[in-house]
């Protein structure tokens, strides 16, 4: 189970759930398991026996399927909290807003959605019987999460106040370059925050993103394009591995990386 404040789950909201299932199943070998009408057709994603995340129809509302998507196709990242009501009470004083109040999900746990002061949407998950995704580091699994922030100072204070982050600045960044910090240091780091206002386009808000491990980034990019997805940036080498920014056929963005993770 992830430590409090770190990512513990992710799910995809898309208006073409079957198309997304086909894409990700062929790309990563994921299995999608429909949880049935009681859970709005939510699909749990597994890679072998390991849980990876979930997927849902973005047209789904409490009253059933709407005619139009309720939000653009995107991945939502959930941070673990020990007391979801207490965490939600800290959101507005820290400059954020509550999008969806706490909701119990069967016996699995409780979820909520909030907006940080920089506009990034992030989920909360208080586990009960279900702890979250399995960090295996294997190809097809999440290996890193970060928020790209257009208001680094406000967002840093927000995640510290609401989720109890211990921000550690990444060393070696030249003065004047975008700042980057992690929640925890080195091997204990669970996620990151990147100062992104200097390079994100005006129309792109702050957001969270996930890195998915692949055996060969260039081969994965070629396969993504073959399956109807798009290359948005890269591939490029970084101190942490060769990576690329891509999108699925419905527009959901994510990163692929060939990292040096050793589980």
Output the six-digit token pair for 117.
Answer: 């002061």
Higher pLDDT among residues 191 and 72, named by residue? 191
pLDDT of residue 141: 96
Mean pLDDT of 188-211: 94
Mean pLDDT of 70-84: 93
Instruction: Find, among 224, 226, 148, 38, the residue nearest to 234 by Cα.
Output: 224
CA distance 234 to 262: 24
Backbone angles phi, psi at 237, to 5 degrees: -90, 145
Going by their DSSP bridges, the two strands 192-195 and 142-149 should be labelled as parallel
Q: Do the beta carbons of residue 52 and residue 254 sit within 8 Å? A: no
pLDDT of residue 263: 42
The mean of the pLDDT values for the chain is 93
Enter the pTM of the model: 0.94
pLDDT of residue 171: 86
Q: Is the pLDDT of residue 58 over 90?
A: no
Share of the chain above pLDDT 70, in %: 95
pLDDT of residue 2: 65
Q: Is the dihedral of CA 162, 163, 168, 174 positive or negative?
A: negative
Which domains are present in the chain?
A: 7-127 (3.10.180.10), 142-259 (3.10.180.10)
Mean pLDDT of 158-163: 98
Instruction: Find, among 130, 108, 96, 133, the residue nearest to 210 by Cα.
Output: 133
Q: Is the pLDDT of residue 98 over 80?
A: yes
Higher pLDDT among residues 65 and 145, named by residue? 145
Backbone angles phi, psi at 139, to 5 degrees: -50, 135
Output the six-digit token pair for 38.
Answer: 């009681």
Q: Which residues, 6 or more positions from 77, have their beta carbon under 8 angstroms from its beta carbon?
A: 7, 9, 10, 122, 123, 145, 147, 208, 209, 210
């Amino acid at each position: 189970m992830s430590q409090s404040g770190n990512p513990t789950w992710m799910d995809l909201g898309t208006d073409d759930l079957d198309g997304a299932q086909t894409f990700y199943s062929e790309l990563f070998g994921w299995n999608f398991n429909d949880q049935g009408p009681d859970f709005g057709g939510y699909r749990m994603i597994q890679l072998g026996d390991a849980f990876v995340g979930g997927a849902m129809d973005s047209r789904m509302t409490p009253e059933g399927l709407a005619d139009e998507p309720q939000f653009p196709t995107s991945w939502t990242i959930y941070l673990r909290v020990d007391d979801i009501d207490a965490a939600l009470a800290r959101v507005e004083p820290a400059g954020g807003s509550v999008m969806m109040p706490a909701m119990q999900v069967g016996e699995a746990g409780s979820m909520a959605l909030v907006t940080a002061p920089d506009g990034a949407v992030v989920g909360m998950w208080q586990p009960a019987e279900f702890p979250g995704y399995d960090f295996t580091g294997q190809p097809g699994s999440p290996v890193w999460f970060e928020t790209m922030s257009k208001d680094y100072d406000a967002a840093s204070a927000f995640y510290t106040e609401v989720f109890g982050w211990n921000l550690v600045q990444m060393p070696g960044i030249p003065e004047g370059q975008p700042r980057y910090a992690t929640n925890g240091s080195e091997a204990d780091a669970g996620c990151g925050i990147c100062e992104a206002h200097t390079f994100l386009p005006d129309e792109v808000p702050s957001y969270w993103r996930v890195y998915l491990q692949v055996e060969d980034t260039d081969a994965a990019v070629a396969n993504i394009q073959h399956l109807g997805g798009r290359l948005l940036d890269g591939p490029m080498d970084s101190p942490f591995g060769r990576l690329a920014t891509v999108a699925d056929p419905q527009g959901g963005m994510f990163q692929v990386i060939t990292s040096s993770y050793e589980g």
